[in-house]
């Protein structure tokens, strides 16, 4: 597994809000070590048995937390993200959707400067099944196993993970990198981490229209990745020039089509599923080849 | 949100970027009160590109000529979008045209300057485009470096660098997706001014800008009536030419469902992400707006409720079916409280299909059948 494990100590920023509170409970129920909540002005309270602090720095000092998951509202998310980075947590995962991209670009710059791992924003979070759940993913869908997943989409990840789990193909870690045009960790960093992770045998990469991240991933895989990769791209029927739900899912000036991405993968010998269900077939096929090796 | 040229220029002017004097008119008669002298430039204000090529910019040599041109231009539609008004400016004596823009570079994850020493019509075809990442925090030396790379010197270098700095400040403070000046002109007297301006305001940022409140409804060009109404309610609807109405939760899953419909031989009528789905009213509105499309033969609802409770979605569905008993529906619901939802739906004559592929095939079959839509769907 990568990024998060049983030992990961998690702070929830915005833990007392409606969404933050609900998911704090879900994370605790899953077995995640949630050590603190942070809501300015609510220091001293508790949420689902977890102490709440006014600042991230204070929470980190008191608990030794190494990860923060943020439910902070969009226009405060840059501030909250910078606070977590400055407080020294190594991993910041931003769930919040609708953050102005200029704020995200600044947050990404701050994370780079400090060497902080940033996941998201506009993402469902990270799960290492059976060990730790960070964010809003439905834990019951995921099963422990050897597939590493990287995805730009939340519910599509659940759909594919569900199909994999039901077919006995568990996951080492699933990372929702988010649907925004600018984000923290991308395909390349995560591919590299999965490649080095002894618990991961096979990587599933779920992309969608918009940008060139999948084309870049294809070139990177060819050069650097030893493990089999199965890809799926959503938006094969999306019309150009229209934003498809995610801020980053748009074909602009003829760039970012599903066709271009699928072609890029196929050209370097990566299997590309046409439907989410076909991902399972391709994973089964790749697993058999691994065994026969 | 795309802004009109005249709005973009007013914002640029607020940031100290020089623009030509201009008056916006909606009737040819208003030209008589304008005293810039002739020739005059008349420019269609329309929320789309390709205006020059479509004949949306004309030069009037005297009042009579300008009024005749204005009459035609005010009736001009460009790419199906009506002209809102005309911007009238004196014709500028141009020595050189540049291109200058600030936008977000998704690969680099930061804003960039895009500039060219050959401004004018089509930046895409120019071979001399300079792109420069804008570091955070920003310092004006980046803009000077940009001006240098454009081959500028002396007074003009400083003036262009100054405008680039102001354009970035405008982009940053106003939360824009794009701030573009094309052309940025150098006049025969070495003045530098924004002859045209384009601004796209970032949609997620509008709520923190009081100056843009209430603007959205007047800037929805390019959307169908239903798409515009959905947008005003915070739903992302994209209409297509097919006959299978699609509602899902999550953008990726919605796209994947569209793709599967097409893969199994059907034609999607729309993309509609209903989001979390726990909001019953929003789900009901989403169902209604898809239902309104006369091309839709069958609605495929695909909800994978990780967190979303299926019974809440079922509640909205039952209400919809009560109001629209003849609508053909295929419902795929999976997740929390799925059994409860199945029971609720059974009473309304709707079967719940847990498997996505089965549901998609079912919807495709229904979209092709000649069965009367008056028959309540029973699958």
Kindly report the CATH number assigned to the domain that includes residue A269. Answer: 3.40.50.261
- Cβ pairs bridging A and B (under 8 Å): 161
| Domain match, A173 and A288 both | yes
Confidence at residue B124, expressed as pLDDT on a 0 to 100 scale: 62
Q: Among A147, A95, A94, which residue's Cα sits nearest to residue A116?
A: A94
Q: Among all residues of A, which ones are annotated catalytic?
A: 246
Q: pLDDT tens, B68-104?
A: 999 999 999 998 899 999 999 999 999 999 999 999 9
Q: In terms of CA atoms, which chain A residue is nearest residue B206?
A: A100
pLDDT of residue B212: 96
What pLDDT score was predicted for residue B352? 86
The backbone torsions φ and ψ at residue A33, rounded to the nearest 5 degrees and listed phi first, read -80, 80
Of chain A residues 205-224, which have a CB less than 8 A from chain B?
206, 208-213, 216
Res B243 pLDDT > 70 = yes
A154 shares a domain with A219:
yes
Contact B250 A153 (CB under 8 A): yes
> Given this model, what pLDDT does residue A223 score?
97
Decide if the complex's ipTM is over 0.90: yes
Question: Residues with Cβ < 8 Å from A263, sequence gap 6 or more?
Answer: none
Q: What is the DSSP letter of B73?
A: H
Interface contact flag, A105 B107, Cβ < 8 Å: no
Report if residue A44 sits inside a domain.
Answer: yes
* Nearest-by-Cβ selection for A109 from B110, B172, B203: B110
Residue A203 counted as domain residue:
yes
> Is the same domain home to A163 and A82?
no
Assigned domain for A131 exists: no
| Cross-chain CB nearest to A245 (options B208, B236, B259) | B236
Whole-number Å distance between alpha carbons of A38 and B143: 40
CATH number of the domain encompassing residue A107:
3.40.50.720
Choose the final residue of a domain: A91, A119, A147.
Answer: A119
Instruction: Determine, yes or no, domain membership for A126.
Output: no
Residues in chain A closer than 8 A to B177 (CB atoms): 101
A17 with A100, same domain: the answer is: yes
* Per-residue pLDDT at B379: 39
**A25 and A159 fall within a common domain:** no
Can you give the pLDDT at residue B374? 42
Instruction: Give me the domains of chain B, ranges plus CATH numbers.
Output: 21-90 (3.30.1490.20), 94-212 (3.30.470.20), 225-368 (3.40.50.261)
Chain B residues with beta carbon closer than 8 angstroms to that of A106:
136
Which residue ranges of chain A lie beneath pLDDT 50? none
pLDDT at B293 over 50: yes
Q: For residue B376, what pLDDT is reported?
A: 43
For residues A204 and A105, membership in a common domain is answered with no
- Ramachandran angles phi, psi of B143, nearest 5°: -70, -35
A129 lies in some domain: no
Question: Average pLDDT, stretch B300-325?
Answer: 85
Q: How far apart are alpha carbons A279 and A127 in whole angstroms?
A: 19
pLDDT of res. B127: 65
Mean pLDDT, chain B, rounded, equals 91
A106, A149: one domain: no
More confident position, B313 or A102: A102
The answer as to whether A133 is a domain residue is no
Of B168, B170, B162, residue with least CA distance to B11: B170
Residues A85 and A150 in one domain: no
In a domain, A28, yes or no: yes
Question: Are the C-beta atoms of A192 and A152 separated by less than 8 Å?
Answer: no
How many domains are contained in chain A? Answer: 2
Q: How far is B107 from chain A (nearest CA, A)?
A: 7
β-pair partners for B57: B43
Q: Which chain A positions have a beta carbon within 8 Å of B258's beta carbon?
A: 235, 237-238
- Write down which residue in A90, A119, A148 finishes a domain: A119
Q: Which residue of A has its CA nearest to B171?
A: A102
- Mark yes or no for CB contact A162/B304 under 8 Å: yes
Residues A107 and A230 in one domain: no
State how far Cα A61 lies from the chain centre.
26
pLDDT band, very low/low/confident/very high, at B306 (cuts 50, 70, 90): low
Shared domain check, A247 and A187: yes
Query: Is residue A289 classed exposed, middle or buried when 0-12, 13-18 and 19+ CB atoms within 10 A define those classes?
Result: exposed
pLDDT bucket at B123, cuts 50 / 70 / 90: low
Name the pLDDT band for B281 (thresholds 50, 70, 90).
Answer: confident
| Domain span at A214 | 138-292
Taking contacts as CB-CB distances below 8 angstroms, the residues of chain A near B205 are: 100, 102
Cα–Cα distance between B100 and B106 in angstroms, integer? Answer: 18
Q: How far is B250 from chain A (nearest CA, A)?
A: 5
In this structure, the answer to whether residues A96 and A167 fall within a common structural domain is no
- Interface probe for B, chosen from A21, A30, A77, A102 (most Cβ of B below 10 Å), is A102
Residues A106 and A142 in one domain: no
> Is the pLDDT score of B282 beyond 80?
yes
Q: Is residue A130 part of a domain?
A: no
> Which positions of B are catalytic?
99, 180
**Residue A108 forms contact with B (CB below 8 Å):** yes
Taking only the tens place, the pLDDT of each residue in B320-333 is: 999 998 899 999 98
């Amino acid at each position: 597994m990568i990024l998060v494990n049983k030992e990961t100590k998690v702070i929830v920023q915005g833990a007392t809000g409606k969404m933050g509170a609900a998911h704090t409970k879900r994370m605790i129920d899953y077995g995640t070590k949630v050590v603190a909540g942070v809501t300015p002005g609510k220091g001293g309270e508790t949420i689902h048995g977890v102490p709440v602090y006014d600042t991230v720095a204070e929470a980190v000092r008191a608990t030794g937390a190494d990860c923060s998951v943020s439910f902070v509202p969009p226009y405060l998310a840059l501030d909250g993200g910078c606070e977590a980075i400055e407080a020294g947590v190594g991993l910041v995962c931003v769930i919040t959707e609708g953050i102005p991209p200029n704020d995200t670009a600044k947050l990404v710059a701050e994370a780079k400067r400090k060497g902080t791992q940033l996941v998201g924003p506009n993402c469902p979070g990270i799960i290492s099944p059976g060990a730790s759940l960070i964010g809003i993913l439905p834990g019951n869908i995921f099963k422990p196993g050897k597939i590493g997943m990287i995805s730009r989409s939340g519910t599509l990840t659940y759909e594919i993970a569900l199909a994999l789990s039901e077919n006995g193909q568990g996951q080492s870690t699933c990372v929702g990198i988010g649907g925004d045009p600018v984000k923290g960790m991308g395909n390349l960093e995560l591919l590299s981490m999965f490649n080095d992770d002894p618990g991961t045998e096979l990587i599933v990469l779920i992309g969608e229209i918009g940008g060139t991240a999948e084309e870049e991933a294809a070139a990177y895989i060819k050069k650097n990745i030893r493990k089999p990769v199965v890809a799926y791209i959503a938006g094969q029927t999306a019309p150009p020039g229209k934003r498809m739900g995610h801020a980053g899912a748009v074909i602009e000036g003829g760039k970012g089509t599903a066709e271009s991405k699928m072609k890029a993968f196929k050209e370097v010998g990566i299997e590309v599923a046409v439907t989410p269900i076909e991902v399972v077939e391709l994973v089964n096929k790749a697993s058999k080849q691994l065994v026969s090796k | 949100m795309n802004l009109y040229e005249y709005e973009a220029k007013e914002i640029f002017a607020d940031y100290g970027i020089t623009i030509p004097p201009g008056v916006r008119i909606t009737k040819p008669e208003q030209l008589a009160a304008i005293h810039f002298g002739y020739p005059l430039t008349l420019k269609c204000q329309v929320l789309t590109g390709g205006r020059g090529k479509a004949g949306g910019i004309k030069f009037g040599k005297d009042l009579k000529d300008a009024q005749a041109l204005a009459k035609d231009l005010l009736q001009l539609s460009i790419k199906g979008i009506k002209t809102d008004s005309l911007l009238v400016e004196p014709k500028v004596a141009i020595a050189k045209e540049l291109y200058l823009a600030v936008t977000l570079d998704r690969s680099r994850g930061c804003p960039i300057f895009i500039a060219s020493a050959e401004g004018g019509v089509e930046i895409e075809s120019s071979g001399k485009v300079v792109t420069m990442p804008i570091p955070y925090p920003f310092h004006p030396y980046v803009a000077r470096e940009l001006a240098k790379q454009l081959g500028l010197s002396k007074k003009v270098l400083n003036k262009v660098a100054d405008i680039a700095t102001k354009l970035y400040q405008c982009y940053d403070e106003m939360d824009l997706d794009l701030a573009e000046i094309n052309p940025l002109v150098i006049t025969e007297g070495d003045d530098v001014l924004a002859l045209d301006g384009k601004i796209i305001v970032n949609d997620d940022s509008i709520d923190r800008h009081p100056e843009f409140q209430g603007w959205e409804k007047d800037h929805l060009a390019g959307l169908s009536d239903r798409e515009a109404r959905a947008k005003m309610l915070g739903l992302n609807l994209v209409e297509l030419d097919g006959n299978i109405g699609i509602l899902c939760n999550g953008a990726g899953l919605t796209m994947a469902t569209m793709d599967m419909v097409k893969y199994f031989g059907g034609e999607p009528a729309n993309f509609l992400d209903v989001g979390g789905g726990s909001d019953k009213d929003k789900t009901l509105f989403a169902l209604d707006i898809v239902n309104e499309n006369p091309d839709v033969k069958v609605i495929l609802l695909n909800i994978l409720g990780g967190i979303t409770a299926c019974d809440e979605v079922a509640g909205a569905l039952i209400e919809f079916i009560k109001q629209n008993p003849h609508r053909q529906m295929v419902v795929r619901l999976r997740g929390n409280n799925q059994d409860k939802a199945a029971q609720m739906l059974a009473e309304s004559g709707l079967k719940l299909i847990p498997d996505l592929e089965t549901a998609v095939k079912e919807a495709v079959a229904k979209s092709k059948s000649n069965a009367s839509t008056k028959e309540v769907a029973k699958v």
